[in-house]
Structure 1
Amino acid sequence: MPQMTSIPIMKADGGLVEPKNVITLHHLLTHTAGFGYPDITYKQNPRFNKDSWNYEDFPRQFESGTRFLYGTNTDWVGKIVEKVSGMSLEAYFRKYIFAPLGINSTYFNVPERDKKRITSLGNRGPDGKGKLREIDGDEYSPNRYPLKDVIDYSGGGGLFSTPNDFTKILKCMLNYGANKGRRVLKKATVKEMIKNQIGEISLDPTGWYFDPVRCCNFEGLMDGNSKWGLAFMIDNTPKSYGRKAGTVLWGGYRNTYFYLDYKSGIAASIYSQHLPFNHEATITLFDKFSEVLYRVKK
Structure 2
Amino acid sequence: MFDNARLTRIADWMQGYVDGRRFAKASVLIAHQGREVYYHDCGHRNLATQTAWQRDTVARIYSMTKPVTSVALMQLVERGLFNLDTPVSEFIPEFSDMHALVPEAKSLDQTAPCAAPTLHQLLTHTSGLSYAFNPGLVGRAMMERRIEFRPSQGSLAEMCSKAASLPLAFAPGRRWEYSVGIDIIGRVVEVVTGKTLEQYFIQEIFEPLGMTETRFSVPKASSDRFAACYTPLAEGGFTTGRATHGADTLRLIDGSDASPFLAATLQSGGGGLVGTIDDYLKFTESLRTGGDGIIGPKTLKFMMRNHLRGEIADMGPSSFAEQPMEGMGFGIGGAVVLDPARARCPGHVGDFSWGGMASTFFWIDPVADLSVLFFTQLIPSSAYPARSELKALVHGAMT
Same fold (TM > 0.5): yes
Aligned with 2:114: secondary structure? coil
Q: Are residues 293 and 144 of structure 1, via their aligned partners in 2, closer, same or farther at CA, if it must alter by over 3 Å?
A: farther
Quote how far apart the aligned CAs of 1:147 are.
7.4
Looking at CA atoms only, which structure, 1 or 2, has the larger radius of gyration? 2
Is the 1:66–1:201 Cα contact (8 Å) retained in structure 2? Answer: no
Is the 2:227–2:256 Cα contact (8 Å) retained in structure 1? Answer: no
Quote how far apart the aligned CAs of 1:121 are.
1.1
Q: Are residues 166 and 103 of structure 1, via their aligned partners in 2, closer, same or farther at CA, if it must alter by over 3 Å?
A: same
Q: How many Å separate the matches in 1 of 2:369 and 2:261?
A: 41
Q: How many Å separate the matches in 2 of 1:197 and 1:151?
A: 33
Q: How many Å separate the matches in 2 of 1:266 and 1:147?
A: 30
Aligned to 1:233: 335
State the Cα deviation string for residues 55-110 of structure 1 (Å, max 9, x = none).
53243211111111111101111111111111111110001100010101111122
Q: How many Å separate the matches in 2 of 1:146 and 1:160?
A: 11
- Per the normalisation by structure 2, the TM-score is 0.63
Q: How many Å separate the matches in 2 of 1:232 and 1:277?
A: 16
Aligned with 1:249: secondary structure? strand
Q: How many Å separate the matches in 1 of 2:373 and 2:335?
A: 15
Aligned with 1:19: secondary structure? strand
> In structure 1, what residue type is equivalent to 2:226?
I
Aligned with 2:287: secondary structure? helix
* Greater percentage in helix: 2
Q: Are residues 23 and 206 of structure 1, via their aligned partners in 2, closer, same or farther at CA, if it must alter by over 3 Å?
A: closer
Quote how far apart the aligned CAs of 1:124 are.
1.4
Q: How many Å separate the matches in 1 of 2:390 and 2:253?
A: 30
Q: How many Å separate the matches in 1 of 2:334 and 2:301?
A: 12
Aligned to 2:252: 135
Match of 1:52 among 121, 136, 146: 146
Q: How many Å separate the matches in 2 of 1:191 and 1:264?
A: 16
Q: Which piece of structure 1 moves more, 15-24 or 48-57? A: 48-57
Higher RCO, 1 or 2 (CA under 8 Å, sep at least 6)? 2
Aligned to 2:123: 29
Q: How many Å separate the matches in 1 of 2:138 and 2:329?
A: 24
> In structure 2, what residue type is equivalent to 1:208?
S
Quote how far apart the aligned CAs of 1:132 are.
2.1
Is the 1:121–1:273 Cα contact (8 Å) retained in structure 2? Answer: yes
Pair 1:270 & 2:374 matched:
yes
Q: How many Å separate the matches in 2 of 1:92 and 1:67?
A: 31
Q: Which piece of structure 1 moves more, 264-273 or 163-172? A: 264-273
Q: How many Å separate the matches in 1 of 2:290 and 2:357?
A: 25
Aligned with 2:205: secondary structure? helix
Quote how far apart the aligned CAs of 1:244 are.
0.8
Task: Map 1:252-267 to 2 at 5 A.
Answer: 252-267=356-371
Task: Map 1:77-88 to 2 at 5 A.
Answer: 77-88=185-196
Structure 1 alignment gaps of length 5 or more: 210-216
Q: How many Å separate the matches in 1 of 2:202 and 2:261?
A: 23
Q: How many Å separate the matches in 2 of 1:241 and 1:147?
A: 33
Aligned to 1:213: none
Quote how far apart the aligned CAs of 1:297 are.
3.7
Aligned to 1:196: 306
Equivalenced residues, count:
280
Quote how far apart the aligned CAs of 1:152 are.
3.3
Q: Are residues 268 and 246 of structure 1, via their aligned partners in 2, closer, same or farther at CA, if it must alter by over 3 Å?
A: same
Is the 1:119–1:144 Cα contact (8 Å) retained in structure 2? Answer: no
Aligned to 1:15: 108
Is the 1:255–1:274 Cα contact (8 Å) retained in structure 2? Answer: yes
> In structure 2, what residue type is equivalent to 1:93?
F
Is the 2:218–2:261 Cα contact (8 Å) retained in structure 1? Answer: no
Quote how far apart the aligned CAs of 1:242 are.
4.9
Pair 1:293 & 2:394 matched:
yes
Is the 1:10–1:62 Cα contact (8 Å) retained in structure 2? Answer: yes
Pair 1:3 & 2:107 matched:
no
Q: Are residues 113 and 51 of structure 1, via their aligned partners in 2, closer, same or farther at CA, if it must alter by over 3 Å?
A: farther
Is the 1:67–1:201 Cα contact (8 Å) retained in structure 2? Answer: no
Task: Map 1:63-212 to 2 at 5 A.
Answer: 63-125=171-233, 126=235, 127-130=243-246, 131-137=248-254, 145-146=259-260, 149-178=263-292, 183-200=293-310, 202-203=312-313, 208=318
Q: How many Å separate the matches in 1 of 2:291 and 2:297?
A: 6
- Per the normalisation by structure 1, the TM-score is 0.83
Structure 2 alignment gaps of length 5 or more: 1-91, 148-158, 236-242
Q: How many Å separate the matches in 2 of 1:128 and 1:206?
A: 27
Aligned to 2:7: none
Between the two proteins, what is the percent identity of the paired residues?
24
Q: Which piece of structure 1 moves more, 224-233 or 184-193? A: 224-233
Aligned with 1:165: secondary structure? helix
Q: How many Å separate the matches in 2 of 1:49 and 1:135?
A: 22
Q: Are residues 288 and 75 of structure 1, via their aligned partners in 2, closer, same or farther at CA, if it must alter by over 3 Å?
A: closer
